[in-house]
């Protein structure tokens, strides 16, 4: 699959200097984490999501999370589990009948409630477990994280599969100031131990907000809830360090009507500016808006290429190719590596095309 595959060849040529490249669940983990982009949540009770994917109803969708946690009432959990298993079996049968379908399917993830549930679903899926790219661990904290990852590790070894873990940081121990640093450091040590299994770290701003009886309105970004923004900053400070390989995904934007689209666009830009890659989406209309922020400008790509290219050569201060800024090879190197990975996955825009041009077009098609 690749990003923006709904665009025609003509449209790709009009917008991109270098088009987005193909990726799959076997892509290098760092690039795959960046590639997740807009990730659509689907309630586990949705009975037709396999048919929508088979019919390629969502052209630009590249990652989906089937949710068995907060979106499902406790009294409907068994029904939801059975439905997720049935939908995945249906997808597997469709791939058996048409092998090319597997190249058009988005990355598939399951958001579980517990280790027991993960083991139960894995058993029910049998060989079709291989359709799954990873497992989302909600309310991940220092008490349950080891159990989640140990179970995942054992499952990978026992079934000869590669399933990634996607922990969601959203518990009160993180948002409450007095326990935050201790809990973050405990999680950091656990996550480092299982880094090879972690595709992205996700954050639950809705759960954080609920602990203070807050909910941001449609016309405000999550960063304007200062209690939440303060916590997001400390999560990034802990897990976004250059010596580690963690990708952190931005929080959900819970509005999807037309009047909220401009604020979604503003928030996604703030996500990227602060170091988040990707975002949880709750409606298909959000997908293109979120992903449109990630194509790299030609100027930025040229800067990153210059910096990486001079790592072992003239690695002091360089005038940028556009002659409008200073590039310092040593301090800008880690930034440049991420930019080149982002450019490979999302493409590089033509020199005369801005991100605002691209989103303007995407929002109107």
pLDDT tens, position by position, 170-183 = 999 999 999 999 99
Residue 10 has pLDDT above 90, yes or no: yes
Asked if residue 280 lies in contact with residue 249, where contact means CB atoms within 8 angstroms, the answer is yes
| 317 pLDDT higher than 70 | yes
Between CA 287 and CA 293 the distance in angstroms is 11
Domains and CATH numbers, the chain: 21-294 (3.20.20.60), 295-365 (no CATH)
- φ, ψ of residue 96 to 5 degrees: the values are -60, -35
For the chain, how far is it from start to end, CA to CA, in angstroms?
21
pLDDT in tens, 114-140: 999 999 999 999 999 999 999 999 999
- Reported confidence tier of residue 296, pLDDT bands at 50, 70, 90: very high
What pairs with residue 134 in β-bridges? 109, 164
- Write down the pLDDT at residue 293: 96
Q: Across all residues in the chain, what is the average pLDDT?
A: 95
239 backbone dihedrals φ, ψ, rounded to 5°? -110, -5
Confidence of residue 144 (pLDDT cuts 50, 70, 90): very high
pLDDT at 365 over 70: no
Range 314-324 average pLDDT:
84
Report percent pLDDT > 70 for the chain. 100
Q: Could you tell me which of 44, 48, 42, 52 has the C-alpha nearest to residue 104?
A: 52
E strand or H helix that includes residue 363? helix 355-363
Residue 322 has pLDDT above 90, yes or no: no
* In the predicted structure, residue 49 carries a pLDDT above the cut 70: yes
Contact (Cβ atoms closer than 8 angstroms) between residue 362 and residue 292: yes
**pLDDT at position 364 over 80:** no
- Which pLDDT band, with edges at 50, 70 and 90, does 342 fall under? very high
In this prediction, residues 281-289 reach a mean pLDDT of 95
Give the pLDDT mean for 157-167: 97
Pick 287 or 326 by higher pLDDT: 287
pLDDT in tens, 71-96: 899 999 999 999 999 999 999 999 99
């Amino acid at each position: 699959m690749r990003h923006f595959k709904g665009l025609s060849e003509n449209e790709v040529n009009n917008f991109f200097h270098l088009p987005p490249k193909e990726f799959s669940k076997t892509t290098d983990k760092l690039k795959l984490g960046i590639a997740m982009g807009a990730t659509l949540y689907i309630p586990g009770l949705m009975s037709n999501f396999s048919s929508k994917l088979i019919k390629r109803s969502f052209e630009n969708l590249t990652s989906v999370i089937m949710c068995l946690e907060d979106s499902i009432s406790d009294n409907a959990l068994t029904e939801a589990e059975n439905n997720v298993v049935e939908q995945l079996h249906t997808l597997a049968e469709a791939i058996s009948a048409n092998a090319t379908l597997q190249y058009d399917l988005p990355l598939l993830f399951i958001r579980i409630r517990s280790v027991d549930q993960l083991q139960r679903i894995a058993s029910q899926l049998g060989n079709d477990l291989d359709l799954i790219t990873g497992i989302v661990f909600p309310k991940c904290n220092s008490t349950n994280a080891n159990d989640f990852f140990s179970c995942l590790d054992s499952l990978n070894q026992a079934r000869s599969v590669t399933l990634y873990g996607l922990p969601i940081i959203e518990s009160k121990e993180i948002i409450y100031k007095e326990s935050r640093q201790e809990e973050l450091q405990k999680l950091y040590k656990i996550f480092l131990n299982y880094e090879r299994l972690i595709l992205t770290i996700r954050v639950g701003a809705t759960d954080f907000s609920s602990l203070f009886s807050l909910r941001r309105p449609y016309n405000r970004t999550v960063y304007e809830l200062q209690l939440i923004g303060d916590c997001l900053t400390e999560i990034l400070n802990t897990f976004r360090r250059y010596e580690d390989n963690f990708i952190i995904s931005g929080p959900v934007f819970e509005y999807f009507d037309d009047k909220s689209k401009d604020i979604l666009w503003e928030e996604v830009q703030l996500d990227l500016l602060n170091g988040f890659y990707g975002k949880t989406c709750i409606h298909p209309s959000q997908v293109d808006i979120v992903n449109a922020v990630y194509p790299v400008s030609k100027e930025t790509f040229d800067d990153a290429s210059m910096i990486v290219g001079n790592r072992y050569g003239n690695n002091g201060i360089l005038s940028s190719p556009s002659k409008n800024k200073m590039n310092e090879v040593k301090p800008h190197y880690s930034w440049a590596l991420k930019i080149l990975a982002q450019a490979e996955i999302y493409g590089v825009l033509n020199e005369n095309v801005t991100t605002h041009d691209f989103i303007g077009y995407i929002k109107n098609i």
